[in-house]
Amino acid sequence: MQVYYMNGAGNDFMVIDVRGMELDFPKLAVELCKLEQADGFMAVDNSQAADFRLHFYNADGTRGEMCGNGARCVCRFAYDLGIAGETMVVQTDAGLVPGWRLSESEYRVQLNNPSVLDLNRKEDVAYVELGSPGVPHGVVRYDGDLWGDKDRLRERMRSLRFDPAFPKGANVNFYQVMGPGEVRVLTFERGVEDFTLACGTGTGSVAAVLRRQGKLPQGVLTAHNPGGTLKVTIGGQGEEIDKILLEGPTEVVNVREIEKFFPENS
């Protein structure tokens, strides 16, 4: 079987085509992610509601509702394998996600609109869920050197990830304002239980918070993640949000041929 090792602005994933198969996805996620120390695992399956269905799992085998950078990568996977055309719709646990091929490496997806957007869930921490059931995010503005202070922030971000204020746990996204419509983002991700180089739904959540606060008047956010830069475009009237578009780079890093569904030492 072929396993694609893909990267989207720093988020890396193991991706397989499972159409017509029934497999142990949680075990596959754990074992395949170990091969490259990847952030997540994605399986492309048949769908009656869209061009294909995305099963997304974190590296620890827990299922995720959706993944923004993962969705962009899986759109490239589907296009490259002839599963879908340049415009497609992906069925996810959080809802249907439209996707577009912009160039050989650039892909855009429409993230699910917020089902929860609470600017003051816990002191200075906003809480956002994109989709229903939504991907949970704690969003915090940081006024220091975000990336330079990374190691010092680790324990605070880890604590917020498990905070009782977030009943499902949460990805934690700190952001530093660099200028109008431009931020740096640092993410501590559930299921990985460490920093990741980018988070697509987290970047979308930061943009949603800034939009609700009236700090994104043009509706466009350039978000620099340690692994790459993402662009978010938000549509809507006033405080209402009716569209979140996420775009950025994708890369096929490697394609592995695996004779078994699990490595020998599983």
Whole-model pTM over 0.85: yes
Q: Using only the alpha carbons of the chain, give its radius of gyration.
A: 17
Identify the pLDDT of residue 137: 96
- Separation in Å, CA 163 to CA 140, 143, 158: 14, 22, 9
Q: How confident is the model over 165-216, as pLDDT tens digits?
A: 998 899 999 999 999 999 999 999 998 999 999 999 999 999 999 999 999 9
Question: Looking at 33, 73, 75, 199, which residue is catalytic?
Answer: 199
- 151 sits in which H/E element: helix 150-161
Cβ count within 10 A of residue 257: 7
Binned at pLDDT 50, 70 and 90, residue 134 comes out as confident
For residue 73, indicate whether it is catalytic: no
Q: Do the strands 243-249 and 106-111 form a parallel or antiparallel pair, or are they unpaired?
A: antiparallel
Q: What percent of the chain has pLDDT over 90?
A: 88
Q: Does the N-terminal peptide bond of residue 133 adopt cis geometry, omega within 30 degrees of 0?
A: yes
Q: How confident is the model over 92-132, as pLDDT tens digits?
A: 999 999 999 999 999 999 999 999 999 999 989 999 999 88
For residue 67, indicate whether it is catalytic: yes
- Judged by DSSP in three states, 11 sits in strand
Binned at pLDDT 50, 70 and 90, residue 263 comes out as very low
Q: What percent of the chain has pLDDT over 70?
A: 97
All structural domains of the chain with their residue ranges: 2-110+251-257, 114-247
Superfamily of domain 114-247 in CATH is: Diaminopimelate Epimerase; Chain A, domain 1 (3.10.310.10)
For residues 186 and 172, give the distance between their C-alpha atoms in angstroms, rounded to a whole number.
8
Sign of CA dihedral 239, 243, 248, 252: positive
Question: Looking at 33, 67, 73, 75, which residue is catalytic?
Answer: 67
State the Cα angle at 115 between 218 and 6, rounded to 5°. 75
Identify the pLDDT of residue 260: 65
CATH number for domain 2-110+251-257, candidates 3.40.109.10, 3.10.310.10, 3.40.50.970, 1.20.1050.10:
3.10.310.10
